[in-house]
């Protein structure tokens, strides 16, 4: 592009900006720090607590098996020199098999946990987006931005009031639901 055509294009863009700027002046724009919502929303904390309790039994089982395996290894280390070659071979094989099984169980546990966490976080994301949309509509926002924003003036950050609304909604829901 020549300097003359680029100058014309730039001039046209600036003219368009000047013409459209009165319409932009009336826009109400907000920003939501989505990462902060995920961290601080009471619904997110409830999801974390639910997952912890759901997987607590399996975690305790894995911890018990790990401790049992450590005890077997300690017994092998302590008694190995006095064992016969056959006894030592059997004990070493038992420890190796136990380590392999524990690794497989831990991997399975982590996969199950990650799948459930992703499932619950997907539900939570939907709730958070709906809550931000409801807040934006009720407050008359024309545009609300979230991820991908490099800078947002704190004057347009609506994260705190959305969190307050989430907390108020979470308290209302938790008072209605029976405790376990």
Would you write out the chain's pLDDT as a tens digit for each of its 180 residues? 444 444 444 344 444 444 555 555 678 889 999 889 999 999 999 999 999 999 999 999 999 999 999 999 999 999 989 999 999 999 999 999 999 999 999 999 999 999 999 999 999 999 999 999 999 999 998 999 888 777 777 888 898 999 999 888 755 544 444 333
| pLDDT tens-place string over residues 102-135 | 999 999 999 999 999 999 999 999 999 999 999 9
DSSP per-residue letters across 59-122: HHHHHHHHHHHHHHHHHHHHHGGGS-HHHHHHHHHHHHHHHHHHHHHHHHHHHHHHHHHHHHHH
Around Cβ 31, how many Cβ atoms within 10 Å?
Answer: 19
Distance, in Å, from the CA atom of 35 to the CA atom of 147, rounded to the nearest integer, reads: 8
Answer CATH for 26-176 from 3.30.910.20, 3.40.50.300, 3.40.50.970, 3.40.630.30: 3.30.910.20
Helix (H) or strand (E) segment spanning residue 157: none
Q: Which two tokens stand for residue 123?
A: 């539900």
pTM of the predicted model as reported, rounded to 2 decimal places? 0.66
Q: Give the helix, strand, coil percentages of the chain, each rounded to 5.
A: 80, 5, 15
């Amino acid at each position: 592009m020549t300097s003359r055509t680029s100058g014309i294009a730039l001039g046209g863009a600036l003219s368009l900006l000047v013409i459209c700027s009165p319409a932009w002046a009336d826009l109400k724009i907000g920003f939501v720090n989505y990462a902060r919502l995920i961290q601080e929303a009471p619904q997110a904390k409830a999801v974390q607590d639910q997952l912890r309790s759901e997987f607590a039994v399996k975690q305790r089982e894995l911890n018990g098996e790990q401790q049992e395996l450590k005890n077997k290894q300690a017994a092998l280390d302590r008694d190995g020199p006095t064992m016969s070659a056959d006894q030592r071979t059997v004990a070493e094989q038992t420890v190796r098999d136990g380590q392999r099984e524990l690794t497989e169980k831990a991997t399975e546990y982590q996969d199950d946990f990650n799948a459930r966490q992703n499932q619950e976080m997907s539900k939570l994301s939907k709730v958070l987006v709906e809550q931000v949309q409801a807040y934006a509509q009720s407050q008359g926002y024309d545009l609300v931005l979230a991820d991908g924003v490099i800078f947002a003036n704190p004057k347009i950050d609506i994260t705190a009031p959305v969190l307050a609304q989430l907390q108020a909604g979470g308290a209302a829901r938790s008072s209605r639901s029976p405790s376990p």
